[in-house]
Chains A and B, each alone.
Chain A
Amino acid sequence: MVAPARIVVTGMGPVAPNGVGLPAFWGALVEGRSAIRPVRSVDVSRHPRKVGGEVQDFDPARYMSEETAGRTGRTSQLAIAAGKLALDDARFSEVPDGAFLAIGSTLGDMAEVESMNDDWLRDGTTDPRKIARQNAAGFAPRISRGLGLVGASAVSVHAACSSSNQAVALAARALRDGRCSFALAGGSDAFSRLTFSGFARIGAMAPDHCAPFDRHRRGMLVAEGAGMVVLETLDAATRRGARVYGEILGWGLSCDASHLASPLPDGSALAEAMRSAIAMARLAPSAIDLVGAHGTGTIANDRAESRALYAVLGARAGQVPTTSIKSMIGHTMGAANALQLMACILAMRESMIPPTIHFETPDPDCALDCVPNRARAARTTRALVNGAGFGGSNSCLVVGRCSP
């Protein structure tokens, strides 16, 4: 029996509220710098909440032609930018034909829907260009063509805030099965007034800062961003002398099958996804020495995730470093898992774990080592990256360290 191909990460493209591109993103994470600011892209004057995580000074013209930018909504623009950064980071001498693109999103180009509604309210008109830009059916091909991929397969996969882990899993499997030459996977969501209003309305949003796993945490903060990674087989990466950041060792998907907006309180389905990912990686739970938490900062999510971690890792769950970058950048929705994945890969590579900031008071219900407030120098080798979203969708990855 032939061993399945090993899948490695050879390029990463973060477009995040705390920085665009790896150096800015990683530097801000290690410094524990908050990217939460007063919201500018949405009128929040009538909202009780005023802050969020927006990608600052994003200029689509740096990543695509003016024509492409003009017929592309912001969620797609962010995704194209992330894909371009990832491809540049992978340093292909020539981007191969036959890619597999998997892009996740919670709401797609929702900002275009909102812009159409603005028109509707103002004068009852509908701009056909906005209809085209919001068209979800065009999301994946728009990004594929925007990146100039040739002979590519492309899917958009939607599992709310666990979308980009799903996308990475699908892409890794396509590579493993020999259905593509390389893969690009991740997720994207732009800031939208629906997201901002909706999370405020269901009482999930914190007033000013996000404090995952803290006893006095008050919720999540809405953010935007995109994250894409380049995946190749280890053989292909080695042949071309590529820099290998890390290895995708396993993935697991599950569903709470319980509630559209609230997690299963005991975390049992999330635990099942973790177990599946660890089993696919052919590891024992004891091999996991880093957790990239979903860590939204809501009472219910953090408690459920903590219970799931204890169910899978046992008493060790309290000692394994468990970091949530949402404390610094907010919840980037469809991009959240991909950005957390990059943070974990870099943490292993640089032997430095980004912190969970705003942590003050331990919560007995979330008795985790969340790497409070300051980055920690530590060598880690096997990370579990968690994703959970509306609809009870859970997706987990296990990623391994590769030596620089």
Chain B
Amino acid sequence: MLPVAITGVGVVAASVTTSAELAGVPGAGRWLVGVDGRLDLSGHLDALQLRSFDRASQLAVVAAKLALEDAGGWPGAPSSLGVCLGNTHGCLEAQIALDRAILTEGPQAVSGTLFPYGAFNAAAANVAIVLHARGANLTFATGAAAGTDACAEAARQLQDGCVTCMLGGGVEAPGDAAVLLLESRDAADGRGARTRGMIAGAASRVADDDSRAGFERAAAWSARSALEEAGIVAGDVRLVVGEVELLAKTFDGRSVPTISAESTFGEAPSASGAFQVVLAVLSLRSPAERGPVLCLSRTPEGIVSVIVVTP
């Protein structure tokens, strides 16, 4: 993977445990954080979007707009901007509600307006519609790994060369989303954009079984592959975001500082991988702690995904 620059960060969170330290400080990106758990999106969406978008779409659109604002806007052509989101559960509410309408009121009760929200990709599509992003549009539904997988795929889309800029991240209704603006290092430097960090490697594996050992093997393989792709070794890693316990063999007993997205943002499965990358970017603001960050997501269903963020 070519190192891909992170030039914008947009965060929407119903609540964070350390908002005073994170939100609003230079280099942290643009954040919208709920007050007493209440998240007011009305300043960021128009009346139609507030009325017609599902919650996942609203959150994703606001996070994407914040990421673009943070990056100073996107001056490129619409066809050169793509979207890749993790969104596993965002459509479930619509699926249940639409089907219950069929059961209780008959097939004619299905709302033609709501029907497309039964598909997983509605949130990513609405981001594209609002931002006129006509590049690749992808959605991953890999649960707690979806945000990680989406950020990694966004970076890989840039390598294909069909887009010059990607929005990658994850969304979890009712209150969480994180979106990053990614572009090639050359493109970022060319337009004088501030680079917050680089996505340098990524890998994912399904544990062969649900045993602890199975997850450890999958984590070790994913970490090794992602680090190889990034061109660094485990000894270079300064910080792990996620379950470092799965990586005992990777670090050969070395103690590595660790944080978790859950302790900051709470449980937000499809957004958590993107939150991890946000925390990685934040850690890079400290000159003393600048160094590669390994983010690890694990799903109960068996996926272990890793992404490596470097200064």
Contact = CB atoms under 8 A, between A and B. Distances in A.
B169 to A, nearest CB: 15
A120 to B, nearest CB: 7
Nearest to A134: B92
B206 A137 contact: no
Contacts of B120: 105-108, 136, 158
B205 A137 contact: no
Contacts of B126: 260
Contacts of A256: 128, 134
B96 A113 contact: yes
Contact of B204 (A155, A157, A158, A202): A155
A144 interface: yes
B108 A391 contact: no
A151 B304 CA distance: 11
In this complex, the member of B95, B120, B140, B269 whose beta carbon has the largest number of chain A beta carbons within 10 angstroms is B120
Interface in A131-160: 135-142, 144-145, 149-160
Interface stretch (B20-28, B62-70, B111-119): B111-119
A40 interface: no
Interface residues of A, number: 70
A260 B141 contact: no
B156 interface: yes
B134 A157 contact: no
B119 A107 contact: yes
Contacts of A105: 120
Given A136-B89, A137-B141, A153-B203, A254 B134 contact: yes
Contacts of A239: none
B98 interface: yes
B107 A179 contact: no
Given A151-B208, A153-B205, A255 B119 contact: no
Interface stretch (A190-198, A225-233, A293-301, A342-350): A190-198
Contacts of A138: 143, 301-302
Interface residues of B, number: 71
Given A153-B206, A260-B116, A117 B96 contact: yes
Interface in B172-230: 203-208, 221, 225
Contacts of A310: none
B50 interface: no
B139 A159 contact: yes
A62 interface: no
B239 interface: no
B102 A197 contact: yes
B102 A193 contact: yes
Contacts of B301: 135, 137-138, 141-142
B139 A158 contact: yes
B78 interface: yes
A269 B103 CA distance: 37
A391 B125 contact: yes
A254 B128 CA distance: 10
Contacts of B234: none
In this complex, the member of B82, B108, B131 whose beta carbon has the largest number of chain A beta carbons within 10 angstroms is B108
A376 interface: no
B121 A158 contact: yes
Given A140-B142, A252-B162, A159 B137 contact: yes
A171 to B, nearest CB: 12
B38 interface: no
A47 to B, nearest CB: 5
Contact of A253 (B104, B135, B207): B135
A153 B303 CA distance: 8
B269 A137 contact: yes
Given A117-B96, A145-B206, A156-B142, A255 B118 contact: no
Given A121-B104, A152-B206, A153-B206, A260 B122 contact: yes
Nearest to B94: A194
B122 A391 contact: yes
Nearest to B157: A253
A202 B111 CA distance: 8
Contacts of A254: 79, 134-137
B124 interface: yes
Contacts of A150: 208
A197 B118 CA distance: 12
B99 A194 contact: yes
A129 to B, nearest CB: 15
A253 B162 contact: yes
Contact of B103 (A118, A136, A389): A118
B107 A47 contact: yes
Contacts of A200: 107
Contacts of B276: none
Contacts of B104: 121
Interface of B: 1, 78-79, 82-83, 88-89, 91-92, 95-96, 98-100, 102-104, 106-108, 110-112, 115-122, 124-126, 128-129, 131-144, 146, 149, 153, 156-157, 160, 162, 203-208, 221, 225, 269, 299-303
Given A158-B119, A257-B134, 9 more contacts: A47-B107, A110-B118, A118-B103, A152-B206, A197-B102, A201-B112, A201-B115, A390-B121, A392-B137
14 contacts: A46-B106, A107-B91, A136-B141, A137-B89, A137-B142, A138-B301, A149-B206, A154-B204, A160-B121, A260-B122, A390-B119, A391-B125, A391-B128, A391-B137
Interface of A: 46-47, 101, 105-108, 110, 113-114, 116-118, 120-121, 135-142, 144-145, 149-160, 166, 170, 173, 177, 179, 193-194, 196-198, 200-203, 252-261, 269, 272, 276, 280, 389-393
List the 7 shortest-distance A-B pairs measured between CB atoms, nearest first.
A137-B143, A391-B125, A158-B120, A253-B136, A255-B137, A138-B301, A141-B302
